[in-house]
């Protein structure tokens, strides 16, 4: 006996008419609609437009209420350099720099710490050529545009780092980067460390996505501030060669050659002139090492001189350099590790560095949070870096109220705890990871003895 078939539409006859009035065509669910619009809103162009609007709104509001003569005071250096290049002069001409800056209110006693008649320009000529593009806006207009550009780059850096490290919530970098206290200091001082953070984040994103030639060009841009990015660029070029990603090296070489030719068109012997500029007018840490935030300056602040100074400096610098080079040569090392070590490096190796250079340390911080620390430890690190620097700034503000201008900058060395915390945490997690894998901890001896 055959059992009756279940009722339903006959594929040969088409759909049944029974109950056709009750059947409705499929409708897109609310979740699907939200997901589709979420993808549209989350596009790079929407982010760019939104962040640009936010930056413009902030600058407009600040323009109405803030004393612009006290905002971005270091821009006076870039204004003078840009104006000199625009008029066909060398941006390293000390007499003309002094004249232009004093016309804009530079004062040796208050602005120059009693030692500087002008704020010297230590950058390559091509950076001055970029600054020359703002000269037609006039000094006040160019100053506002400089603040806007720095704010825009700061916000874009947070966006670029949003997906950089798996394990870090996507909402963290866009908030951490602009809210970090030393990012705000760099913004309001008008320094170039925000540009270095942006170029680092951009190079990382381009390399991760396989846009190697463009990534190499971004690395060439990082040479604008050698003391902050030289170790990173060197390590990334070694890593790229070991990975046989020759397009990165080619892009870097082509971009740096183009920038060098532009510099030579402005100042024929610009590398020599740039070095002479630092020799003729030494950076302020030569006179006041306590305003610096590198290992060498910390030793000078402690009063060390001669062989004890250089002995302790090399005792930390040489092993760190060996670890950095060893990591770059190791094909198993990830790109994020090279970026992290390369951005910690200037605070160990470089002779000069200030607290407003700390925004670049947010990259190794994000790697620590996403890759090396537990969720609780990562959250503790995040909270510490969001809260404690503001307390540090408050202590410095109180200190400056109590002491005369000649010693106002004494407490800035206290920010050294930030690179120290990041460095110690990095190598502590490296050692812990090596023990779990049953491998020897990466050390200078291992680096020097490896093939």
Instruction: List pLDDT tens digits, range 237-264.
Output: 999 999 999 999 999 999 999 999 999 9
309-323: average pLDDT: 97
151-169: average pLDDT: 96
Cα separation of 417 and 353, whole Å? 14
Residue 30 scores a pLDDT above 60: no
Where do we find the tokens 């703002």?
A: 134
Helices (H), 161-269: 172-179, 181-189, 193-208, 212-222, 226-242, 246-266
Share of residues in the chain with pLDDT > 70 (%)? 86
Model-level pTM greater than 0.85?
yes
Sign of CA dihedral 131, 134, 138, 144: negative
| 401 band by pLDDT with thresholds 50, 70 and 90 | confident
Q: What token pair was written down for 295?
A: 């290992």
Cα separation of 334 and 329, whole Å? 11
**Using alpha carbons only, how large is the chain's radius of gyration in Å?**
27
Contact 231, 345 (CB under 8 A): yes
Helices (H), 330-416: 335-344, 346-349, 362-367, 375-402
Question: What tens digit of pLDDT does each residue of 361-380 get?
Answer: 999 999 999 999 999 999 99
Contact 228, 193 (CB under 8 A): yes
Sign of CA dihedral 394, 396, 400, 402: positive
Phi, psi of 348, deg, nearest 5: -105, -40
Nearest CA among 12, 342, 384, 320 for reference residue 203? 342
Q: What is the pLDDT of residue 37?
A: 61
CA distances from 188 to 16, 83, 150, 426 (A): 72, 22, 9, 30
CA atoms within 13 A on the CB side of 166: 1
Q: What is the pLDDT of residue 14?
A: 45
| 19 band by pLDDT with thresholds 50, 70 and 90 | very low
Contact 368, 422 (CB under 8 A): yes
| 18 band by pLDDT with thresholds 50, 70 and 90 | very low
Share of residues in the chain with pLDDT > 90 (%)? 77
Q: What is the pLDDT of residue 113?
A: 83
């Amino acid at each position: 006996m055959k059992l009756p078939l279940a009722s339903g539409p006959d594929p040969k006859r088409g759909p049944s008419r029974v109950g056709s009035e009750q059947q409705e065509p499929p409708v897109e669910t609310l979740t699907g609609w939200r997901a589709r619009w979420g993808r549209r809103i989350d596009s790079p162009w929407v982010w760019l437009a939104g962040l640009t609007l936010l930056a413009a709104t902030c600058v407009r509001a600040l323009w109405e209420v803030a004393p612009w003569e006290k905002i971005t005071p270091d821009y006076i250096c870039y204004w003078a350099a840009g104006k000199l290049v625009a008029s066909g002069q060398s941006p390293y001409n000390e007499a003309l720099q002094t004249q232009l800056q004093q016309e804009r209110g530079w004062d040796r006693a208050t602005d120059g710490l009693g030692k500087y008649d002008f704020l010297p320009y230590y950058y390559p000529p091509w950076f001055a050529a970029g600054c020359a593009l703002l000269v037609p806006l006039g000094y006040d207009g160019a100053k506002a545009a400089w603040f806007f550009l720095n704010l825009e780059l700061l916000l874009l850096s947070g966006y670029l780092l949003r997906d950089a490290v798996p394990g870090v919530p996507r909402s963290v970098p866009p908030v951490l980067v602009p809210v970090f206290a030393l990012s705000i200091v760099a913004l309001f001082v008008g320094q170039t460390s925000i540009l270095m953070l942006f170029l680092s984040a951009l190079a990382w994103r381009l390399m991760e996505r396989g846009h190697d030639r463009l990534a190499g060009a971004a690395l060439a841009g990082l040479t604008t501030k050698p003391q902050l990015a030289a170790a990173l660029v060197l390590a990334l070029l070694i890593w790229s060669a070991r990975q046989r990603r020759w397009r990165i090296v080619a892009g870097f070489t082509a971009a740096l050659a183009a920038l060098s030719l532009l510099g030579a068109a402005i100042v024929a012997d610009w590398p020599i002139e740039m070095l002479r500029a630092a020799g003729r007018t030494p950076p302020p840490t030569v006179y006041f090492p306590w305003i610096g935030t590198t290992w060498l300056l910390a030793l000078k602040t402690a009063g060390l001189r001669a062989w004890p100074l250089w002995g302790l400096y090399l005792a930390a610098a040489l092993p760190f350099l060996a670890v950095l080079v060893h990591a770059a040569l190791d094909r198993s090392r990830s790109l994020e590790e090279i970026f992290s070590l390369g951005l910690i490096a200037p605070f160990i190796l470089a002779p000069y560095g200030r607290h407003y250079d700390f925004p670049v340390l947010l990259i190794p911080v994000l790697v620590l949070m996403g890759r090396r620390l537990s969720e609780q430890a990562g959250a503790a690190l995040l909270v510490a870096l969001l809260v404690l620097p503001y307390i540090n700034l408050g202590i410095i503000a109180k200190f400056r109220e109590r002491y005369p201008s000649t010693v106002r900058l004494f407490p800035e060395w206290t920010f050294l705890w930030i690179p120290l915390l990041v460095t110690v945490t990095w190598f502590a997690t490296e050692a812990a990871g090596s023990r779990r894998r049953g491998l020897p901890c990466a050390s200078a001896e291992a680096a020097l003895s490896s093939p």
